[in-house]
A = this chain, B = another copy of it.
Amino acid sequence: MRFHSPSIQYFHAVRRTGSIRAAARLLNVASSAVSRQILKLEQEVGSPLFERNARGLTLTTVGEMLARHVMNVLQDLDRFRSDVASLSGAWHGTVSIACIESLTESVLPDLIASHRTRARRVSFTAEVMGSSDVLEALRRGEADIGIAIALRHPPDLRQVALKRFRLGALVAREHPLARRKTVTLEQCLAFPVIQALPELSIYHLLQPLIAQLSETPEPAIQANSIDLMRELAARGVGVAFQTQLGVGRLSRDAQLVFLPLDNAGSPVWSDLGIYVRAERTLPAFTESFLQELVRELGERERRENAAYPHVA
């Protein structure tokens, strides 16, 4: 079912690989064939699509415009294919997800597992990365659904939902703070803290608040892995910071205690956004999973904010 001209597909491969020969290998054709299609395309458009650097090819402005069109075409082709397939009862395809690390502990595995029991022929690809990389992966068409800290998103992405979760401190059960209901930042900084490196969005959430304080935190441990920070906190190394989403089951085993942050009487929010490409209609099975994801995150938002109500 490949009824689009080779130029389109070749262009798409060249854009992704950044090289004609690499694209040719990917497509199992001769590099000359790819080269000629690109040249023909540039002649039709009337403007070069790539800048030829010695190291490979980079999109020009017009090239980026065409890339957007080609992505719209190919993604809509995917949707068409799945529409036809679902007509004969066969729901199958691949949902590709790009998300930040907080989701990997519980939300995503739970959801995927539960979805797979109902729709066994829908497979998944999940990739963990930073928030801005999530948006970039969506723009480049490398993922269908993105979950990231809600930054200002570019206009070619659509924010399907926005859920806010409380940021909190994570300490071992034996930690002196563990008996409190909530903690303030100052209280945490009296102990060794496990700080997030700037690659993690937690850093950007906490840094402005820390800067407001007079004291500087005692230097302890810096890490760029939510998982590592959590495990460190469980071993009593120090106080870690994250949303309860990233904690999940472990805290229910009572190894860890989650203490919502209380910053001068008001909670510290971490806004989680769910994104898809704006210029796109999702295949039915992808749309279906997206709905479940939104529902589940909404459910967690409700539950967790009910567990730790804050003064209004």
Contacts and interface: CB of A to CB of B under 8 A. Distances in A.
Interface of A: 1-5, 7-8, 41, 44-47, 61-62, 65-66, 68-69, 72-73, 76-77, 79-80, 83-84, 87, 278-279, 281
A64 to B, nearest CB: 10
B1 A8 contact: no
24 contacts: A1-B44, A1-B45, A1-B46, A2-B44, A3-B7, A3-B8, A3-B44, A3-B45, A4-B4, A4-B5, A4-B8, A62-B84, A65-B80, A65-B83, A65-B84, A65-B87, A68-B80, A69-B76, A69-B77, A69-B79, A72-B72, A72-B76, A73-B76, A76-B279
Contact of A84 (B1, B45, B281): B45
A47 B281 contact: no
Contacts of A76: 69, 72-73, 279
Nearest to A70: B80
A61 B83 CA distance: 10
Given A3-B7, A69-B76, A69-B77, 18 more contacts: A2-B44, A3-B41, A3-B44, A4-B5, A45-B84, A61-B87, A62-B84, A62-B87, A65-B80, A65-B83, A66-B80, A68-B80, A72-B72, A72-B73, A72-B281, A73-B73, A76-B279, A278-B281
A102 B182 CA distance: 62
A78 to B, nearest CB: 10
A44 B2 CA distance: 7
B65 A69 contact: no
A46 to B, nearest CB: 7
A204 B85 CA distance: 41
Nearest to A280: B279
A69 to B, nearest CB: 4
A7 B4 CA distance: 8
Contact of A279 (B1, B47, B66, B281): B281
Contacts of A279: 76, 281
A281 B71 CA distance: 13
The 3 A-B pairs of least Cβ separation, nearest first, read: A69-B80, A5-B5, A65-B83
Contacts of A77: 69
Nearest to A40: B3
B80 A47 contact: no
Nearest to A41: B3
A121 B89 CA distance: 49
A8 B62 CA distance: 23
A137 B128 CA distance: 44
A1 B73 CA distance: 16
Contacts of A1: 44-46
A2 B83 CA distance: 27
A56 B84 CA distance: 24
Contacts of A47: 84
Interface-central residue, A41, A44, A61, A73, by most chain B CB under 10 Å:
A73
Most B C-beta atoms less than 10 A away, residue of A2, A44, A45, A84: A84
